[in-house]
Structure 1
């Protein structure tokens, strides 16, 4: 006997094929149809699996769901505790999950599997473009974090220094970081370079600053020596565990918080790899890097997203009135 969800339509018992085999097959077809990074693909797969599990728990056929069901699901997500933070999902997280679900249903509409997208009429959370819940870091806090990594010794110390340098100096997403392969490293017009697939399946390329390149090279040299291989024979994922498996995003989360605690950062327990991405944007803008260059470096389609990452954008030191006054003074 199931319990009805307030505000949702009466549950409809699905067939086994519709609920288990059909939607899962649709999900894989949908993912294959899109140019996505492996990290994004895995995140979308989890998002749809969450919806299918919710439907299964209510004996609801997801191919017959209405916007009322999606609304009920959204309310449940808003009260769900994120295991990583110990707090309920943020509006941005809920909005992202519903966006993935909407894309999935749009694909099903095109296939003729459903008559309409039920997410279209659902009540999605409002997400401020001018605010992010991610805890940011000041430049001196990033320096302290890197210094804590530099002070470490042991078999994973060089790898950890390389990971932190890539996060801090390039502002990579954690999914982009752990998806990197050695084959992504290269040289272009005198630059050490990195090519990879970013969010949305877009091809990206970035330059490695000298310090970042040194950290990566030191790690790879140590890795080659431990495997008794020539440096040019090391292959596979760029960042690996002691067993040679690809480092995962959860290990990077733990690494950032552990080093932040060692560095004495007050908000260490709330930091994430994304905190370094925010710090990258804020520091780059503070150093006078044009917004469009920071936007390109971060792979943002919309400059408003880049501005949201810039925590110092409301600093009165950057008020344009000073530049206008200084120019007028020079003319006078």
Structure 2
């Protein structure tokens, strides 16, 4: 029985800011937080090794882990706690404080997962006593992406508008986004020398997420998009450099592609155009392909390591008319009919 009334005080009551400008945005700021918290050189070295791990090889992923860990260290320092020996109760207080701060379930789940991963490594390296987040109750995250998607008809209208009213560069860029379902980061980073042929197929080697940005993936460019690309290349010329560049020769950037997608969608009469992004195209192509191809085929195209990530793109997977029960019923109905026929003939 609990006798101390203070023990029933809501754990979320925390004056510590847990949203807004991150306490750490780079390695240097993170190290400063660790020093302020009194962490040992072994803990700092272990953190550096953890950040160099395979799951954090991408610069953007590594930066996300640094930011999430920075929030935790900021919280502990404000409470005067030693990061190397935190009681699970304090981890639960932190989780409750994140919820009280109004953060989205996905954001809270990501922050907690990052901290738990860090502690697993520190315990393994002998730099922490325990993982205080072990077996913690964490936010349930929806397994369907909330990115605004497009129907095939809407994509068709955007492509038709681009072909008729936009520049050859814009039409070729949109075609490439559609036929490769690539991330916008790959399109803005690719050079003209990435184009080529492989066993008679027109291909392009695009930078993809992972391995510090040095990894590339070969994509097929089907004839439909190849025609658009060739028309643009005639206009662009054979000079080296970025495949899609500005009039001054500088590569286009991601904000430009964001604005471009929305402008074309608006001109093509696509509803809610203001909520679209280049990633909407990737989502839409994934959904479209999953209606026609096995999961593993679409997973390979998108470059997902985990098939569960690909499944999040399948907007139509909950539709009842796609249930395999129909195919199952038809198969057994056919088998039953064959046996009934044999019985009658006999």
Question: TM-score if structure 1 supplies the norm length?
Answer: 0.70
Structure with bigger RCO (C-alpha 8 Å, 6+ apart):
1
Task: Please tell me whether residue 124 in structure 1 is matched to residue 127 in structure 2.
Answer: no
Secondary structure of the 1:106 match is helix
CA distance in 2, matches of 1:56, 1:248: 38
Instruction: Give the aligned partner of residue 106 of structure 2.
Output: 92
Structure 1 residue runs of 5 or longer lacking an equivalent are: 81-87, 226-230
Counterpart selection for 1:298 from 275, 296, 302: 302
Instruction: Give the aligned partner of residue 252 of structure 1.
Output: 257
Instruction: Give the aligned partner of residue 179 of structure 2.
Output: 169
CA distance in 2, matches of 1:28, 1:248: 31
1:1-332 map, 5 Å: 6-7=11-12, 15-16=35-36, 18=38, 29-34=49-54, 36-52=57-73, 62-63=83-84, 65=86, 67-75=88-96, 77-78=98-99, 90-129=104-143, 131-153=144-166, 157-196=167-206, 198-201=208-211, 204-223=217-236, 225=237, 231=238, 233-235=239-241, 237-240=242-245, 246-286=251-291, 288-323=292-327, 325=330, 328=334
- Report if the CA contact (8 A) 1:14-1:61 is conserved: no
Shifted more, 251-260 versus 23-32: the winner is 23-32
Please report how far the alpha carbon of residue 312 of structure 1 lies from its aligned counterpart in structure 2 after TM superposition: 2.1
Please report how far the alpha carbon of residue 243 of structure 1 lies from its aligned counterpart in structure 2 after TM superposition: 5.5
CA distance in 1, matches of 2:94, 2:251: 34
Q: 1:289 to 1:98 in 2, by over 3 A?
A: same
Q: 1:328 to 1:151 in 2, by over 3 A?
A: same
Structure 2 residue runs of 5 or longer lacking an equivalent are: 1-9, 17-32, 342-346
CA distance in 1, matches of 2:252, 2:80: 38
Q: 1:234 to 1:92 in 2, by over 3 A?
A: same
Please report how far the alpha carbon of residue 284 of structure 1 lies from its aligned counterpart in structure 2 after TM superposition: 1.3
Secondary structure of the 1:192 match is strand
CA distance in 2, matches of 1:252, 1:152: 17
- Report if the CA contact (8 A) 1:8-1:69 is conserved: no
Secondary structure of the 1:309 match is coil
- Report if the CA contact (8 A) 2:42-2:127 is conserved: no
Secondary structure of the 2:312 match is helix
- Report if the CA contact (8 A) 1:294-1:306 is conserved: yes
CA distance in 1, matches of 2:129, 2:192: 45
Q: 1:168 to 1:14 in 2, by over 3 A?
A: closer
Please identify the structure whose Cα radius of gyration is greater.
2
Counting matched residue pairs gives 307
- Report if the CA contact (8 A) 2:86-2:130 is conserved: no
CA distance in 1, matches of 2:313, 2:299: 10
- Report if the CA contact (8 A) 1:67-1:121 is conserved: no
